[in-house]
Amino acid sequence: MESNIPYINAETSALVDKELMGSYNYSIDQLMEIAGLTVAKVVNNEFILKLKSSKEKNIKIITLCGPGNNGGDGLVASRYLKEFGNNVEIFYPKKNTKNPLYTRLITQCENYEISINEKIYEKKEDYEKIFEQSDIILDALFGFSFKGEIREPFKTIITAMKKFENKIISIDIPSGFDIDKGNIFDTFIPMGLVSLTLPKLCSKNFGGVHYLGGRFVPKKLFEKFNLKCDELYKNCDDLYVKI
């Protein structure tokens, strides 16, 4: 299936999102809810259930959320993962308090009794101790619109993540990657990746476990951008497929 899927660049990714929230009249809330649920289903069904079969203890998930839409996807995913019966803790070092959408998402997580840690640690070793105690690190720090240098407090977090690549599942793209150029800051390579809408160009040579999810893009929108995706979800009745 890999060879039949186009990888889209920054320009096409932005145009598809613009169309979805323009001509197709999706709200950002709807897209975030579908994306978060998709990520949660992938993490739970494809990773956690396998871990549970090989471990006697409860599985601990840490979700690392940034202040943008990728972080919003992480908040929604965390809520569903908790609903699925998992132990989830959110690290939110730069909480978005300006946008009412994120205020609602945070309140929802709190109502599910999900711990939200806003503390910023100065040393990567402090994050490493936390990551050491987790089974899965859900990376929702930066999405495909990330540009420029990785700044604090995220630089220290991402530096600490490199030691735990075998625990990391990234949402859409690994945090800190340039959507077109890839891992230009030599950060980390996650064990798993859940691409949304379509895989981004930076993931073309990704060697980990790769899933594609969302299913919120109408066929005629793919056709508008000449994206040949007829076989994308053939014989699939779920929100995601493995690629």
pTM, entire model: 0.95
How much is the CA Rg of the chain, to the nearest whole Å?
A: 17
Block residue for tokens 């711990």: 115
Structural domains of the chain, count: 1
Tell me, what CATH number does 202's domain have? Answer: 3.40.50.10260
Stretch 174-181: mean pLDDT, rounded? 96
- For 131-173, the pLDDT digits (tens) are 999 999 999 999 998 988 999 999 999 999 999 999 999 999 9
pLDDT at 104 over 90: yes
Give dist(CA 167, CA 143) in Å, integer: 19
DSSP 200: B
In 92-206 the beta strands, taken as DSSP E runs, fall at 115-117, 136-140, 168-171, 192-196
> Confidence band (pLDDT; 50, 70, 90) for 56?
low
Helix, coil or strand: residue 4? helix
Give dist(CA 191, CA 170) in Å, integer: 8
> Confidence band (pLDDT; 50, 70, 90) for 3?
low
> Confidence band (pLDDT; 50, 70, 90) for 45?
very high
Q: Which domain holds residue 149?
A: 2-242
* pLDDT score, position 148: 87
